[in-house]
């Protein structure tokens, strides 16, 4: 008796990959999160050769991503990853906040199996939709022997949760890992693994704890401290500074950040550059999460605050 082939579970959350427009030539004037997961799968006949299960976890435009969907997604991933008959997960997601969800999932799950996020820049109704190929590739990657961790698979490249960034607002090849190489490539259904799969420690988000309030402050010419002061006055718990260059921060902001810290606000420093490290000389004792951009540092600081004593 042969055992059944391993199963891939597709968890759908919405996004442009599930978007619909009134016309096949309209790649911009669509509504994200309209097409159900069964329909997305049906649009890719080659997926019938795979042993799949599908679940509609949410149906949102990921630019509106919120705590409820994140919670539900983490819970459904945890559920399916525990199943012995599941080899890997695929998550269909909007492109806008894919990198934040990727990092959240990597830290919440630190999965020993692959969790592959995929997305599209054109709606499902498009004349030349990019979603079907991305979905097929992602399902293929989720079955690679030895694969683990959270990755994104878009336009034939597999990028780790640490590195993946949306770098283009329109083209179908919208993601990159600006300071790293891809984990793998997918060409005509063949996956070539190029470097180790992602790994991290596992964080927790205790039941009943709201996600901490963390904001991002960008340092720039003519910066003013008023915004920081207003956030601190209204109870912000953490601030991530997207510094200039290798982590420099405008003098007008530095004093406000020191004052915020004295009032118990956690400060982390990232760079507003798309690539490159924050260098030690500019840290001023603030947290730096190496390799993470400002939006992922924001997730990381939230997790750090969740792991510490209840916040004010």
Q: Which of 16, 92, 162, 244 is catalytic?
A: 16
| Closest distance to ligand ASP from the beta carbon of 98 (Å) | 7
Closest residue to ligand ASP using C-beta atoms: 94
Q: Is 16 in the active site? A: yes
Judged by CB under 6 A, the residue of 47, 61, 161, 186 near ligand ASP is 61
- The window from 37-45, 92-100, 210-218, 293-301 that contacts ligand ASP (CB under 6 A) reads 92-100
| Closest distance to ligand ASP from the beta carbon of 167 (Å) | 13
143 binds ligand ASP (CB under 6 A): no
Residues 1-60 that bind ligand ASP (CB under 6 A): 15-16, 32
How many CB atoms within 10 Å of residue 244? 18
Q: Would you say 123 or 238 has its CB closer to ligand ASP?
A: 123
131 binds ligand ASP (CB under 6 A): no
Q: Would you say 18 or 109 has its CB closer to ligand ASP?
A: 18
| Closest distance to ligand ASP from the beta carbon of 294 (Å) | 18
Q: Which residues bind ligand ASP (CB under 6 A)?
A: 15-16, 32, 61-63, 94-96, 119, 121
């Amino acid at each position: 008796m042969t055992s059944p082939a391993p199963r891939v579970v597709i968890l759908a959350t919405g996004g442009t990959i599930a978007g619909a427009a009134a016309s096949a030539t309209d790649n911009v004037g669509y509504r994200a999160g309209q097409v159900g997961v069964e329909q997305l799968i049906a649009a890719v006949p080659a997926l019938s050769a795979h042993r799949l299960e599908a679940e509609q976890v949410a149906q949102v435009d990921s630019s509106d991503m919120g705590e409820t969907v994140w919670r539900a997604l983490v819970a459904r991933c945890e559920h399916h990853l525990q199943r012995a008959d599941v080899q890997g997960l695929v998550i269909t997601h909007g492109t806008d906040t894919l990198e934040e969800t990727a990092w959240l999932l990597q830290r919440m799950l630190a999965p020993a199996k692959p969790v592959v996020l995929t997305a599209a820049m054109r709606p499902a109704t498009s004349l030349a939709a990019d979603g079907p190929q991305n979905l097929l590739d992602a399902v293929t990657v989720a079955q690679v022997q030895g694969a683990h961790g959270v990755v994104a698979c878009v336009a034939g490249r597999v990028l780790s949760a640490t590195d993946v960034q949306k770098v283009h607002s329109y083209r179908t090849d919208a993601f990159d890992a600006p300071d790293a190489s891809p984990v793998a490539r997918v060409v005509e259904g063949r996956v070539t693994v190029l470097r180790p799969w992602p790994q991290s420690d596992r964080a927790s988000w205790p039941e009943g704890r709201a996600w901490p309030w963390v904001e991002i402050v960008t340092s720039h010419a003519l910066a003013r401290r008023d915004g920081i002061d207003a956030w601190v006055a209204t109870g912000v718990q953490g601030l991530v500074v997207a510094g200039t260059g290798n982590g420099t921060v405008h003098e007008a902001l530095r004093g406000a950040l020191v004052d915020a810290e004295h009032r118990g606000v956690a400060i982390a420093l990232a760079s507003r550059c798309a690539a490159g490290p924050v260098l030690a000389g500019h840290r001023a004792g603030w947290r730096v999460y190496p390799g993470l951009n400002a939006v992922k540092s924001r997730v990381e600081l939230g997790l750090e605050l969740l792991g510490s004593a209840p916040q004010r």
